[in-house]
Amino acid sequence: MRHAFSAASLLFLSSSCATGGDVIGGRVYLPSEINAHPSDFVGREVRIKGFIFLSDEAHGLWDSNFDREYISSKSPKPDDPVWRHCISVEYTEMGARGIGRHTPRYLVARGKIGIAASNTIDFGACSSVYITVDAVE
């Protein structure tokens, strides 16, 4: 039993190192989990799974495609809770290679969390909370 624990520990450490950087506990989050307490994540590297949609008019990572379609079809008010199911996406050159524009799909993105300044206007953003994507799994 002791050997199994050691092997599991090594597997966890090697998978954490493979993702690189200070990935919080190796855990994969949903956008809504980041939005629940965004200040806890600012400046930290995380892995987020969701439905990504990048176009000339929008750039977001959603909990699900259902959430994205709801926003697109209903145009709800800014205080609608479904807006908390999305974080905006910025990406580095490396991240852009893995994402692909105009290719909506589910993925896991790795990058750092930030919060846009209150005087920033970004018409394609779904949230002031964003991830700068460095890699895609």
What CATH number is associated with residue 36? 2.40.50.140
Query: Which residue type does 113 have?
Result: I
Which residues, other chains included, contact 64 with Cβ-Cβ below 8 Å and sequence gap of 6+?
Answer: 50, 51, 85
Q: What pTM, to 2 d.p., does this model score?
A: 0.75
Paired tokens of 123: 């018409």
Provide the pLDDT for residue 4. Answer: 39
Mean pLDDT score, 82-105: 75
Q: Which residue has the tokens 């974080």?
A: 87
In a domain, 33, yes or no: yes
Condensed to tens digits (0 to 9), the pLDDT of residues 106-128 reads 999 999 999 998 777 777 788 88
Indicate the number of domains in the chain.
1
CA distance 15 to 81: 34
Which domain does 113 fall in, by range? Answer: 22-136
The answer to whether residue 71 sits within a structural domain is yes
Distance (Å, whole) CA 129 – CA 132: 10
Residue 11, domain member (yes or no): no
Higher-confidence position of 119 and 80: 80
Predicted confidence (pLDDT) per residue in 8-22, tens digit:
333 333 333 443 445
